[in-house]
Amino acid sequence: MRNRLPSQKQSAPGISLGRRSLLTLLAATSLIGPSANAQAKPVRVGILSGEDEDIWRIVQENARTTGLTIEVVTFSEGNPINAALAAEDLDANAFQHGPYLQAQNTALGSHIVPVGNTYFAPIGFYSKKWKTLSTIPDGATIGVPADPTNEGRALKLLQSLGLLKISSDAGEMPTAIDISENPKNLTIKELDDPVLARSLPDLDAGVVITEWAYKAGIDLKSERLARESMDNNPYINFIAVNEPDAHANWVQPLVSAFQKPNVRTKLLEAYHGAIIPSWT
């Protein structure tokens, strides 16, 4: 982990510090004594740019009351955030769910772990052409996220809606090739998240992550045909850190600063109820 202690300033030439003065200087710079628990450097947290920035402004204010300073670092997409955390360019991040982190740890060879829930962003099944599931025609083109974790999540939602069936041996992250039954002869189109959200007018329907649906101006209520439930759902988002930092003295204050009533209120307001706080 990066050294959080401030660099020591050398005394001016010709000035000799006595033992008492030296101890005073060390205590003032948080190098010894009980004050070492205070953070000499900000905790750097990686998040996705957008509405989450408004959420984290409140988290930052909450943290300041406990003596913790949070520096928010924004990213336009998720993949670089875990790489930055694994490289210790960040101290924590807050943007992902368990299956996504599992895939990222495997890909990066990292050991990133969750330390506290934030919110649940249920994926939705949206359409600008059709008002109900029953009106989706045979041969319709359905967009799904291109990344393995969220594609599997999308296909499971479509299966729960009775639109297709996934092979029983597909595992936790099925893809389009694992579709075993397709009674409506749907065409499944895999697209990157931002492209998928913007392409909804050109599709019959699409399974879109809430964050990107919101950014693309999709009406999260009137254009939503269905969405997944939070019950027993592995796709709850959380704050994550490198495993050696899981019990660092700044982790619990960081989590507590997020899990406050004012953050809950802001989450519901900023996302118009489309995102659900996931802590008790």
User: In the prediction, which pLDDT does 147 show?
Assistant: 86
User: In the prediction, which pLDDT does 39 show?
Assistant: 57
Tell me what the mean pLDDT of segment 195-200 comes to: 96
User: In the prediction, which pLDDT does 16 show?
Assistant: 35
Res. 11: pLDDT tops 50: no
What is the rounded CA–CA span in Å between residue 230 and residue 155?
A: 16
> Which residue bears the tokens 């893809």?
175
Class of domain 19-121+234-277: alpha beta
User: In the prediction, which pLDDT does 30 show?
Assistant: 35
What Cα–Cα distance (Å) separates residue 226 from each residue in 82, 100, 169?
A: 30, 22, 26
User: In the prediction, which pLDDT does 19 show?
Assistant: 36
Tell me what the mean pLDDT of segment 89-112 comes to: 95
User: In the prediction, which pLDDT does 20 show?
Assistant: 35
Res. 118: pLDDT tops 60: yes
User: In the prediction, which pLDDT does 171 show?
Assistant: 83
- DSSP class of residue 11 equals P
User: In the prediction, which pLDDT does 270 show?
Assistant: 85
Res. 21: pLDDT tops 50: no
The token duo for 128 is 């600008």
Mind listing the pLDDT tens digit for each residue in 227-264?
998 988 999 999 999 999 999 999 999 999 999 999 99
Res. 18: pLDDT tops 50: no
96, β-bridge pairs: 238
Mind listing the pLDDT tens digit for each residue in 22-66?
333 333 333 333 333 445 689 999 999 988 999 999 999 999 999
User: In the prediction, which pLDDT does 256 show?
Assistant: 98
Domains 19-121+234-277 and 124-227 share a fold: yes
Which is higher by pLDDT, 23 or 280? 280
Res. 126: pLDDT tops 50: yes
Neighbour count for residue 76 (Cβ, 10 Å): 9
Percent of the chain with pLDDT over 70: 86
Instruction: Return the minimum-mean-pLDDT range out of 78-87, 107-116, 265-274.
Output: 265-274
Tell me what the mean pLDDT of segment 193-218 comes to: 93
Q: Which long-range contacts (CB under 8 A, 24 or more apart) does 244-250 make?
A: 244/1, 244/111, 245/1, 245/91, 245/92, 246/113, 246/115, 248/1, 249/37, 250/39, 250/43, 250/68, 250/91
Instruction: Return the minimum-mean-pLDDT range out of 15-19, 113-117, 189-193, 211-215.
Output: 15-19
Res. 4: pLDDT tops 70: no
Domain parsing of the chain, residue ranges: 19-121+234-277, 124-227
Tell me what the mean pLDDT of segment 101-108 comes to: 94
CATH of domain 124-227: 3.40.190.10
